[in-house]
Amino acid sequence: MQPTATVLVYSDDSNTREQVRLPAGRRPAPDVPLVEFLECATPAAVLKELDKGGIDVCVLDGEAVPMGGMGLCRQIKDEVFDCPPVLLLIGRPQDAWLATWSRAEAAVTHPVDPVEFAAALASLLRSRKALSA
């Protein structure tokens, strides 16, 4: 059995969470493991899941309410030991500097471009795999 990667997806909007799951599919690239998605609708749920461990990549919605993904990203980078890499969904390309401020490893604009999103997710999965090897 092949190993799987766990991707945490945070957004208060179920449609946004679905737009993340669909373009990535079960495997965003041939050289990365199969992906299992863990959906969270609140910041508290994200923190609880990160405390449990086993998350390979986080995808955070920068426009989520009540706490946006950028603020949540900065918080988890400060508070979570060995924090997984973060892919941030941003509203406009001009917000990329805010993604840098939040310490996210990657950012893509929302609505999600399937090719761009799958490539960014695969890149983060590869880097996580390389770090654990």
Asked if residues 95 and 62 have their Cβ atoms less than 8 Å apart, the reply is: yes
Please enumerate, as own/partner, the contacts of 93-97 that have beta carbons within 8 Å and a separation of 24 or more.
Answer: 95/62
pLDDT of 128 reads 75
Instruction: Give the integer Cα–Cα distance in Å for 64 and 16.
Output: 9
Residue 107, beta-bridge partner list: 88
pLDDT of 131 reads 62
- Sign of the C-alpha dihedral computed for residues 119, 128, 36 and 43 taken in this order: negative
Q: What percent of the chain has pLDDT over 70?
A: 95
Q: What's the pLDDT band for 1 if we cut at 50, 70, 90?
A: very low
